[in-house]
A and B are shown apart, each in its own frame.
Chain A
Amino acid sequence: MTLAIRQVTKSFGQHRVLDALDLEVQPGELLCLLGRNGAGKTTLLKIIAGLLKPESGNIWLDGHQVDYAEPHARHDIGLVMHQPFLYEHLTGIENLRFYARIYQVSDDIAALQKALAQVGMLRFAGKPVRSYSRGMKQRLTIARALLHSPRLLLLDEPYTGLDLQGSLVFNQLMLEQKQQGHIVIMTTHDLSHALPISSRFAFLARGRVAEDLPNRDLSLGFLETWLTEKLTKPTSDPQKVAV
């Protein structure tokens, strides 16, 4: 599966967030999106997921333009956003059962327990989500996003709330996704965790990919210096001033 984003433009009112953005991601790649707050990272993820419509441009998967009206096109995508997409009064396993049924994948107890065990949440399976900590919700959210084995994973700040062990578990899951040839696109500010699993780092600025840096044994020090330089560089973007 190859993902291609072609000339995608999106504005909110007078503020142009994405400006004819082009991007391509190959099978088995994990692309880490970086940029200032408001650079359009989340907007881009939502457009790829089909939750926002771009003013122009389109998304291509395997050489075909994505038709979001088709359920199978949407089922190819797994999504983790700021909000957990979980029902507070249902237990962890009931949440997964609900999503498994909606996606029409196996909802038998063994499959759901396996999904929970993958993120270290099996012993909390029967507890209502409202009693979970932020990190536990994030683990369950990741299990939910992987439940229907999507070929394209879109993750917005996936390390939020995760402790060290949770972050390592998450990284292991992402490495497995890469090995299966799936595409992962994530936004994060946690470079130390993202570095070992990322194939590329793309820096968004002025609504476009300003720089695309392949991860060829990059050191954390180099990456932090590179990113700090980008973030502190004064922008001449008039739209940013307007914000």
Chain B
Amino acid sequence: MKDWLHSVRTLVWKDLLQEWRSKDMLTAMFAFAILTLFIFNYAIELSPVNRAEIASGIIWVVIVFAGTLGLNRSFTAEQDQGCFDALVMAVPDVSAIYFGKMLTNWLVMLFVSVLILPIYSLLYNQSLFNIGFILVLVLGAWCYSAAGTLIAGMTVQTRMRDLLLPILLFPILMPVNMAVVKAAGGILAGAPLVDVQAWLVLLAAYGIIITTVSIMVFEYVIRE
């Protein structure tokens, strides 16, 4: 277990350092997120009445679509330079590669979220700095990264990876999308946490299940 955690930590360090240098994922995700926010700003007229309900949907759609761009890039270095083979031979357990990638994707998604929340607040004149709302986004991003990293590991080995990733990923994410939008919408509308508790439990359960299953099957996904 200690070796496994050491490998995960090393992989996350390497991925974050590489991302910081290349900014492949960050640039694409951030630019896409900003553009989408602007489009929504012009396309949807938010009144003070419907603002709380719609904000959660807009934010989550932006995060999910931007996240898909990031996921598509997350295995590129391994695929292009053949590093998968080297990693498979070096790590104590192949699941460490999955967990390291998942953590990196999660951190990158959270970083992009941190950047876009103030911009949304400026554009729509609505503060989103609500601890409950942020908790929902953190949980949602975890579920998204857990499922997305597994699917990205599968599709990166195909020629149509850009197309296949969203087609395979979005249906799996339906419960997550529903839970995030309902829970975040409720919190922004002023509902107490206990009212959205069921959605939070759903998110936590989904995250635990998809992470566990992915750890178990990742070796079969990337092998031959």
Binding site for B on A (CB under 8 A): 49-53, 71, 74-75, 77, 79, 81-90, 94, 98-99, 101-104, 128, 144, 148
The reply to whether A101 and B81 form a contact with Cβ atoms under 8 Å apart is no
Given contacts A83-B82, A86-B81, A101-B10, whether A74 and B89 have CB atoms under 8 Å apart is: yes
The 6 closest A-B pairs by CB, nearest first: A83-B82, A85-B86, A89-B21, A101-B10, A102-B90, A71-B92
Candidates B13, B90, B223; contact of A74 at CB < 8 Å: B90
> Which chain A residues border B86 with CB–CB below 8 Å?
79, 85, 99, 144
A71 to B17, CA, bound (A): 26
Asked if B88 CB lies within 8 Å of chain A CBs, one says yes
Known A-B contacts: A53-B224, A71-B3, A74-B90. Give 20 more (CB < 8 A): A49-B85, A49-B89, A51-B88, A52-B224, A71-B92, A74-B88, A74-B89, A75-B90, A81-B85, A84-B81, A85-B85, A87-B77, A87-B83, A88-B81, A101-B6, A101-B10, A102-B7, A102-B91, A103-B90, A144-B86
Instruction: Scan residues 8-54 of chain B and give those whose CB is less than 8 A from a CB of chain A.
Output: 10-11, 13-14, 17-18, 21-22
Please give me the residue from chain B that is nearest to A90 by CB atom: B18
Q: Determine if B90 and A84 form an interchain contact, defined as CB atoms under 8 angstroms apart.
A: no
- Would you call B92 and A89 a contact (CB within 8 A)? no
Q: Is the CB of A128 within 8 A of B82?
A: no
CB distance from A191 to the nearest CB of B (A): 26
Cβ of B21 and Cβ of A90 under 8 Å apart? yes
Q: How many Cβ-Cβ contacts under 8 Å join chain A to chain B? A: 76
Q: How long is the Cα–Cα vector from A103 to B86 in the complex, in angstroms?
A: 11
Which of B10, B89, B93 has the most chain A CB within a 10 Å cutoff? B89
Which B residues, 66 to 119, have Cβ-Cβ distances below 8 Å to chain A?
Answer: 77, 81-83, 85-93
> Which residues does chain B contribute within 8 Å of A81, judged by CB atoms?
82, 85
Closest to B3 in A: A104
Q: Give chain B residues whose Cβ lies under 8 Å from the Cβ of A144.
A: 86
Interface residues of B (CB under 8 A from A): 3, 6-7, 10-11, 13-14, 17-18, 21-22, 77, 81-83, 85-93, 223-224
Q: How far is the CA of A74 from the CA of B7 in the complex (A)?
A: 15
A87 close to B18 (CB less than 8 A)? yes
Q: Which residue of A is nearest B86, CB measured?
A: A85
Whole-angstrom distance between the alpha carbons of A84 and B78 in the complex?
Answer: 11
Residues of A within 8 A of B224 (CB): 51-53
Q: Which residues of A contact B83 (CB under 8 A)?
A: 83, 85-87
Complex CA gap A53/B14 in Å reads 29
Partner of B87, one of A84, A86, A90, A102: A102
Write the nearest CB–CB distance from B104 to chain A, whole angstroms: 13
Q: Is the CB of A98 within 8 A of B14?
A: yes
Instruction: Please indicate which of the listed interface residues B7, B10, B86 has the most CB atoms of chain A within 10 Å of its own CB.
Output: B86
Pull 22 A–B residue pairs with CB atoms less than 8 Å apart, ordered by A. A50-B89, A51-B88, A51-B224, A71-B92, A71-B93, A75-B89, A77-B89, A79-B85, A79-B89, A81-B82, A82-B82, A83-B81, A83-B85, A87-B77, A87-B81, A88-B77, A89-B17, A90-B14, A90-B17, A94-B17, A101-B6, A102-B11
Q: Which residues of B contact A88 (CB under 8 A)?
A: 22, 77, 81
